Amino acid sequence: MKNIFLLLIITGILAIPYTLTAKGLESQSEIGLNVGNKAPNIIEQGVDGTTIDLSQLTGKLVLIDFWASWCGPCRRENPTIVAAYQKFKNKEFKNGKGFTVFSVSLDKNKENWIAGIEYDKLEWPYHVSDLNFWSSKYAMVYRVNSIPSNFLIDGNGIIIAKNLSGPLLEQVLEQLLK
């Protein structure tokens, strides 16, 4: 009973960013890292060396997911993200058509990064990394100091929630469906 109560409290605290967004913070368009801000753009090299631009995903709900192949908690969270992607990728949302993941890796070894993507079946096409480990440009831009870490943005690129893990990711996506 104590664990259920603690889970409810934590879930309630983590859902606060979504609740605030629902009350009108989405109208702010200042670039920043808070719920209601426009997420900073990411333009980085993909697995095959081509440049991938986060802004090309305008119109979709996007989970910007910071992770690494060497990160145990990230690897344990990946099945949850894969399940959410499979369930919601073609759904209609209040402020976005479809859902995808934009993975930003803090790996420093390209072979390990690619192996992690393949092994965990991270089937979305948006995987980027500068292979600079904790000195990753976008980890610094997003002030990521622990992983896994994520930002959910709506179809306009506005941050609507942060650090959604476990069942909370699916719960928030369910609430955003049309």
CATH code of the domain containing 143? 3.40.30.10
CA distances, 50 to each of 19, 150, 168 (Å): 37, 23, 33
Summarised one tens digit per residue, pLDDT across range 79-123 is 999 999 999 999 999 999 999 999 999 999 999 999 999 999 999
pTM for the whole structure: 0.84
Domain count, the chain: 1
Per the prediction, the chain carries an average pLDDT of: 88
Per-residue confidence band for 29, with pLDDT thresholds at 50, 70 and 90: confident
In the chain the beta strands, taken as DSSP E runs, fall at 43-45, 51-53, 61-67, 92-93, 96-97, 99-105, 126-128, 149-153, 159-162
Q: How many residues does the chain have?
A: 178
Question: HSE of 82 in the Cβ direction (CA atoms, 13 Å)?
Answer: 13
